[in-house]
Amino acid sequence: MSYEILGVWVAAFFTLCIFSFLYRDNFFYKLAEHIFVGISAGYGVALQIENVLKPNLLKPLFQEGKMILIIPFILSALLFSRLYSKISWLSRWALALLIGIFSGAAIIGFGSGDLVLQINANLLPLKTNSFLTTFNNFILTFGLITCLLYFFFSKEHKGGFGFIARIGIYFLMISFGASFGYTVMSRMSLLIGRVYFIFGQWLGIIQ
Stretch that binds other proteins, among 1-9, 76-84, 85-93, 104-112 (CB under 8 A): 104-112
Q: Please choose, from the candidates 164, 139, 141, 140, the residue with its C-alpha nearest in 3D space to the C-alpha of residue 151.
A: 164
Contact 94, 76 (CB under 8 A): yes
Radius of gyration of the chain from Cα atoms?
27
Work out how close the CB of 55 gets to other proteins at its nearest, in angstroms, rounded to a whole number: 5
Cα–Cα distance for residue pair 187/162, rounded to 1 Å:
37
Stretch that binds other proteins, among 53-61, 70-78, 145-153, 156-164 (CB under 8 A): 53-61
Concatenate the DSSP letters of all residues of 36-80 into one string: HHHHHHHHHHHHIIIIIIIIIIIIIIIIS--GGGHHHHHHHHHHG
Contact 88, 81 (CB under 8 A): yes
User: One-letter amino acid identity for 72?
Assistant: P
Identify the residue among 15, 20, 60, 82 touching other proteins (CB under 8 A). 60
Stretch that binds other proteins, among 67-75, 84-92, 156-164, 174-182 (CB under 8 A): 174-182
Q: Quick count: other Cβ atoms within 10 Å of Cβ 99?
A: 11
Burial class (CB in 10 A: 0-12, 13-18, 19+), 168: buried
Work out how close the CB of 155 gets to other proteins at its nearest, in angstroms, rounded to a whole number: 27
Burial class (CB in 10 A: 0-12, 13-18, 19+), 60: middle
Determine, following the binding rule CB under 8 A, whether residue 148 of this chain makes contact with other proteins.
no
Identify the residue among 44, 80, 89, 139 touching other proteins (CB under 8 A). 44
Identify the residue among 38, 55, 100, 162 touching other proteins (CB under 8 A). 55
What is the contact mask toward other proteins in residues 186 to 205, using x (rule: CB under 8 A)? x-xxxxxxxxx--xx----x
Contact 199, 205 (CB under 8 A): yes
Identify the residue among 37, 67, 70, 105 touching other proteins (CB under 8 A). 105
What is the contact mask toward other proteins in residues 108 to 137, using x (rule: CB under 8 A)? -xx-xxx--xx-xx----------------
Work out how close the CB of 142 gets to other proteins at its nearest, in angstroms, rounded to a whole number: 16
Stretch that binds other proteins, among 25-33, 44-52, 69-77, 84-92 (CB under 8 A): 44-52
Stretch that binds other proteins, among 2-10, 27-35, 51-59, 161-169 (CB under 8 A): 51-59
